[in-house]
Chain A
Amino acid sequence: MATRSRKPFDLRAQPGFLFIAMICFFMLYLPIVTLVVFAFNAGESVAVWQGFSTRWFQSAWHNSQVQEAAWRTLYVATIAATGAAIMATMAALATTRTAGYRGLTFKYAFINQPLMVPEIVTAVALLIVFSRFKVWSGYTGIGYVLLAHTAFCIPFAYLPIRARLESMDLTLERAAADLYATPWNAFRRVTLPLLWPGILAGYMLAFVISLDDVVITEFVKSGGQETLPTYMLGQLRRVVTPEINAISSVFLALSILIVTLFFIVSRKRN
């Protein structure tokens, strides 16, 4: 019998595979690469190369509007990710540390709702509700944005935390209880330390999601509450300079950094 050099079904052996793969690859990355390249353009154009320069990074760095929006973005993302991680941890504990019951699947769906409902629908709904609130309470601060971000970040934080809890050996908690640990002590001394990588992963995922949200922020924010994405959107409507590319590139770098950390943390097992 002839020796088989390939597995019975090897996708790479199918006709046109390489072609399709290359198209996908270029469609995904060519625009991003172009964007980053033109961030270093010396000229005012985002399409015609006029030599290398870091002037747009400097100009963005010194732009007070960008600074303010950047700080607000980080502030919102930090608060929202923290809130979401806490809520998601509690939700994950409640949905995994229980015997299965009727309605549990419904609960999963309920928690994951923001993943399924079109973002624009949530945004419009929040706009209507919050505008009423603003009239009643007179409060127009950043709180609405924080609340909205926390809410839609919960399912993103929930998924890795729940996965971690489900893969955890339940007898460890039982052993803690057997060794005189009250439920709170068992959680503090056994469950939480083992769950920590999951919470951290959930936190970072939520952070990234909050970081680049445009739609909900745009609808919910009051005047003077620009985040970096909404600021960029606003700029695109006016004059487009490579400053936008520079901001985007830094943003991209930050996201890649966090996502990389997320993968490192979630791969770390005991």
Chain B
Amino acid sequence: MASVASAIDARGVSKVFRGAGQDEVRALDHVSVAIRENEFFTLLGPSGCGKTTLLRLIAGFDFPTEGEILLYGDDIAMLPPYKRPVNTVFQNYALFPHMTVAQNIGFGLEMLGKPKDEIAGRVAEMLRLVRMEELKDRRTSQISGGQQQRVALARALAPRPKVLLLDEPLSALDYKLRKDMQIELKRLQHETGITFIFVTHDQEEALTMSDRIAVMSKGRILQIGSPRDIYERPAERFVANFIGETNMLKGKLGKVSKDLADVTLHAGPKLKATVPETLPASGEVTVVIRPEHARIAPGGKTAGLLKGELENIVFFGTDTHFHVKLNDGSPFIVRQQNASSEAPGLSIGSQVSIAVAENSARVLKD
């Protein structure tokens, strides 16, 4: 399968931190992941899941307790950071306050001992790339947060690293700027053709930007896949919960044919759900249904699958969320777009029925 060496290939990487006493913290637990060349790869997970630790191991700020990290086939796990052709965009940018914007961007090239005119040329190119030409002689304290962000990017990209590491670089920006920078990052990745490894706890950011995502929790990678894969076919309960809003219903597994199975929900009749490669052991299963894959209608007469009482309506601008308490007591959320033609005249407290789109339900592994 791996005819071309991966940009980064982590194999069985563990990192154990020893605390003050006898206790040790296993920040990474035998993590293996292959990141392809020219890929926008995201490590996604809540704080403390090990994503930043993995990034630090790739950057060389820390060394793995066990396992190897290959960069295009060479083990770099024990190299100091200044010997790795890998650059980092830091969460707080870490721009050098005693240097100008241009000096910051040229720093890496200078340290590599490049000739002066080559540095000047590349710095100019980078300034153009991040659209910062006018501010090149400013001190980094004299520019805004968004501009600092772009300088940090230019500085990390200037030495043309084989892999660019981004440690939650957008978390300090406000919403609007963050949206702009997301697009900017995608553009930069496309234009430079450099492999990006992006760390975030923001699932929306991960879904919009990534080619592939690795969802992490408690030092382990739970699932690796395209945003669509992860969103529509979550392998585990944690992934389903962490990525987007979701409904989880209990049911009994019936006949399985290929990748579809009959599930009898406790809250209502049968439906067909896609199943993972490894089926859960018991007949009791959890089924995931995304809120936008359900449609809500008034009354209990429609041949809807699920019936319940409408408890709340939350308006979100582009769409509306309907919070329903199903007849067996479990909660269920339906999301519908606010197209004017389909505003269902529903009132809180009324009986509703919910139809689930065909084959959109997913059986969880555990």
* Residues of chain A at the chain B interface (Cβ within 8 Å): 169, 171-172, 174-182, 185-186, 189-190, 193-194, 270
Q: A185-B111, A270-B97 are contacts. A179–B155 as well, Cβ < 8 Å?
A: yes
Q: A174-B61, A174-B81, A270-B141 are contacts. A179–B111 as well, Cβ < 8 Å?
A: yes
**Structural contact, B97 and A179, CB atoms closer than 8 A:** no
B80 at the interface (CB under 8 A from A): yes
How near does chain B come to A196, taking the closest CB pair, in angstroms? 9
How near does chain A come to B355, taking the closest CB pair, in angstroms? 52
Interface string of B77-101 (1 = CB under 8 A from A): 0001110001110101011111000
Write the chain A residue with the least CB distance to B111: A180
**Structural contact, A194 and B98, CB atoms closer than 8 A:** yes
* Residues of chain B at the chain A interface (Cβ within 8 Å): 59-61, 80-82, 86-88, 90, 92, 94-98, 107-108, 111-112, 141, 155-156, 159
**Structural contact, B159 and A180, CB atoms closer than 8 A:** yes
The docked-state distance in angstroms from the alpha carbon of A189 to that of B82 is 14
The answer, among B59, B92, B112, for a CB contact under 8 Å with A180, is: B112
The docked-state distance in angstroms from the alpha carbon of A181 to that of B61 is 13
The docked-state distance in angstroms from the alpha carbon of A179 to that of B92 is 16
**Structural contact, B90 and A175, CB atoms closer than 8 A:** yes
How near does chain B come to A185, taking the closest CB pair, in angstroms? 6
How near does chain A come to B271, taking the closest CB pair, in angstroms? 51
Write the chain A residue with the least CB distance to B139: A270
Write the chain B residue with the least CB distance to A196: B98
**Structural contact, A179 and B94, CB atoms closer than 8 A:** no
- Set of chain A residues within 8 Å of B155, measured between Cβ atoms: 179
The docked-state distance in angstroms from the alpha carbon of A191 to that of B111 is 15
The docked-state distance in angstroms from the alpha carbon of A178 to that of B85 is 9
**Structural contact, A181 and B82, CB atoms closer than 8 A:** yes
- Set of chain A residues within 8 Å of B88, measured between Cβ atoms: 175, 178
The docked-state distance in angstroms from the alpha carbon of A193 to that of B60 is 24
- Set of chain B residues within 8 Å of A179, measured between Cβ atoms: 82, 87, 107-108, 111, 155-156, 159
**Structural contact, B94 and A175, CB atoms closer than 8 A:** yes
The docked-state distance in angstroms from the alpha carbon of A189 to that of B106 is 13
**Structural contact, B81 and A178, CB atoms closer than 8 A:** yes
Where chain A touches its partner, the secondary structure class is helix
28 A-B pairs in the complex with CB atoms less than 8 angstroms apart: A169-B94, A171-B94, A172-B96, A174-B61, A174-B81, A174-B94, A175-B88, A175-B95, A175-B96, A177-B61, A177-B82, A178-B59, A178-B61, A178-B81, A178-B86, A178-B87, A178-B88, A179-B107, A179-B108, A179-B156, A179-B159, A180-B159, A181-B107, A181-B111, A182-B82, A182-B111, A190-B96, A270-B97
How near does chain B come to A161, taking the closest CB pair, in angstroms? 17
Write the chain A residue with the least CB distance to B20: A100
- Set of chain B residues within 8 Å of A174, measured between Cβ atoms: 61, 81, 90, 94
The docked-state distance in angstroms from the alpha carbon of A169 to that of B87 is 18
Q: A180-B159, A182-B82 are contacts. A193–B98 as well, Cβ < 8 Å?
A: yes
Closest 3 pairs (CB-CB, A-B):
A179-B108, A175-B94, A180-B111
The docked-state distance in angstroms from the alpha carbon of A171 to that of B92 is 8
The docked-state distance in angstroms from the alpha carbon of A182 to that of B156 is 17
- Set of chain B residues within 8 Å of A186, measured between Cβ atoms: 82
The docked-state distance in angstroms from the alpha carbon of A263 to that of B94 is 27
14 extra A-B contacts, CB within 8 A, seeds A178-B59, A194-B98: A171-B94, A175-B88, A176-B107, A177-B81, A179-B107, A179-B111, A179-B155, A179-B156, A180-B82, A185-B111, A190-B96, A193-B98, A270-B97, A270-B141
**Structural contact, A172 and B94, CB atoms closer than 8 A:** yes
- Which of B80, B82, B141 gathers most chain A CB within 10 Å? B82
Write the chain B residue with the least CB distance to A180: B111
How near does chain A come to B86, taking the closest CB pair, in angstroms? 8
- Set of chain B residues within 8 Å of A185, measured between Cβ atoms: 111
The docked-state distance in angstroms from the alpha carbon of A12 to that of B294 is 70
The docked-state distance in angstroms from the alpha carbon of A193 to that of B107 is 14
The docked-state distance in angstroms from the alpha carbon of A178 to that of B156 is 9
**Structural contact, B90 and A171, CB atoms closer than 8 A:** yes
How near does chain B come to A188, taking the closest CB pair, in angstroms? 11
- Set of chain A residues within 8 Å of B159, measured between Cβ atoms: 179-180
Write the chain B residue with the least CB distance to A170: B94
The docked-state distance in angstroms from the alpha carbon of A177 to that of B59 is 10
How near does chain A come to B139, taking the closest CB pair, in angstroms? 9
The docked-state distance in angstroms from the alpha carbon of A6 to that of B82 is 58
How near does chain B come to A53, taking the closest CB pair, in angstroms? 51
- Set of chain A residues within 8 Å of B112, measured between Cβ atoms: 180
- Set of chain B residues within 8 Å of A172, measured between Cβ atoms: 94, 96-97
The docked-state distance in angstroms from the alpha carbon of A178 to that of B152 is 12
- Set of chain B residues within 8 Å of A181, measured between Cβ atoms: 82, 107, 111
- Set of chain B residues within 8 Å of A176, measured between Cβ atoms: 96, 107, 111
The docked-state distance in angstroms from the alpha carbon of A176 to that of B108 is 8
- Set of chain A residues within 8 Å of B82, measured between Cβ atoms: 177-182, 186
How near does chain B come to A187, taking the closest CB pair, in angstroms? 12
Q: A178-B87, A179-B159, A270-B141 are contacts. A194–B111 as well, Cβ < 8 Å?
A: no
The docked-state distance in angstroms from the alpha carbon of A180 to that of B82 is 4
How near does chain A come to B62, taking the closest CB pair, in angstroms? 10
- Which of B86, B87, B94, B156 gathers most chain A CB within 10 Å? B94
- Set of chain A residues within 8 Å of B60, measured between Cβ atoms: 177-178
Q: A169-B92, A171-B90 are contacts. A177–B97 as well, Cβ < 8 Å?
A: no
- Set of chain A residues within 8 Å of B96, measured between Cβ atoms: 172, 175-176, 190
